[in-house]
Amino acid sequence: MSARIIDGKGMAGALRARVAAEVARLATEHGVTPGIAFVQVGADPASQVYVRSKGKAVSEAGMRAIDRTLPVETSEADLLAVIAELNADAFVNGILVQLPLPKQIDAHNIISAIDPAKDVDGFHPLNVGRLARGLPALAPCTPLGCVMLAKSVHASLEGVEAVVMGRSNIVGKPVMQLLLAENSTVTIAHSRTRDLPGVCRRADLLIAAIGKPELVRGDWIKPGATVIDVGINRVQVDGQPRIVGDVAFEEVAQVAGAITPVPGGVGPMTIACLLLNTLRATCAALRLPCPAI
């Protein structure tokens, strides 16, 4: 194996510690504890695991986690009422609605109802638009984490040939915006892209966010490239459940210069960036300068 393994878990731990230090400072100097509300409709086991691990990270950073789990039959109107209540609550600095929502609820209507200043997921249309305009915005957590991981390898991303695989609203498109803000040259690839391996081979920086287990092979990689694997795919290997990324790790690591593992790469950075966004939202609400983290 030739590639350097990018230690997302270690980087996330360090980021969480820096956020926790700023949270402690807010408490001492301003008597404020950032609060984040987790809104979940129904008891989907996978969502519960995510919410629990995010809640634990929030508490460990010295923030308050507010659990708003609602019955699966909750109507859109009732959920909108909960969002309005959280928007008005000065002790709530961040609101996170766990997706997917049950089919009687239009997720777009709910996300659009969140106060953009508390939209720590960065999915509100105002934040999406501000990011696209290159204005300060709460940006989605996974893309923020991807760019931080890439910057741990490339001191500057300016002029870097970046290929983003996937054009979803939660990963691919915001990653593209963040990379453009770093002055990278960005190509977005998707399911209709012709000659996907050829497009990927152009990349100095390849970010794979497609949800296809180990689709990206060793011969798709430019020697020395940086590979950020966002994919989380549950597969069976020899009858045992395993989580793999969108990248065939062993093969790709022979060619790449640096690569994120799955698990232990992008995933931990996503949670750390949620804490960072909540800290930023709290500072903005208090009209305090955003800490340089």
- Which residues are known to be catalytic? 54, 98, 121
**Residue entry with tokens 């777009």:** 108
Cβ-proximal residue to ligand NAP, closest one: 168
Cβ atoms of 200 and 231 closer than 8 Å: no
Length of the chain: 293
Q: Taking CB under 6 A as the rule, does residue 212 contact ligand NAP?
A: yes
With respect to ligand NAP, which residue has the nearer C-beta, 16 or 167? Answer: 167
Four-residue CA torsion sign, 39, 42, 43, 45: negative
Q: Smallest Cα–Cα separation from 61: which of 113, 95, 21?
A: 21
Q: Smallest Cα–Cα separation from 229: which of 217, 241, 219, 239?
A: 217
Cβ atoms of 160 and 203 closer than 8 Å: no
**Residue entry with tokens 């931080």:** 148
Asked whether the bond before 174 is cis by omega within 30 degrees of 0, the reply is no
Cβ atoms of 232 and 198 closer than 8 Å: no
- Distance of closest approach, residue 233 Cβ to ligand NAP, in angstroms: 5
Q: Taking CB under 6 A as the rule, does residue 231 contact ligand NAP?
A: yes
Interacting residue with ligand NAP among 27, 80, 99, 170 (CB under 6 A): 170
# residues contacting ligand NAP (CB under 6 A): 26
With respect to ligand NAP, which residue has the nearer C-beta, 105 or 274? Answer: 274
Q: Taking CB under 6 A as the rule, does residue 9 contact ligand NAP?
A: no
Interacting residue with ligand NAP among 171, 178, 179, 255 (CB under 6 A): 171
Interacting residue with ligand NAP among 95, 225, 267, 279 (CB under 6 A): 267
Q: Taking CB under 6 A as the rule, does residue 186 contact ligand NAP?
A: no
The residue ranges that bind ligand NAP (CB under 6 A) are 142, 165-168, 170-172, 189-193, 196, 209-212, 215, 230-233, 266-267, 270
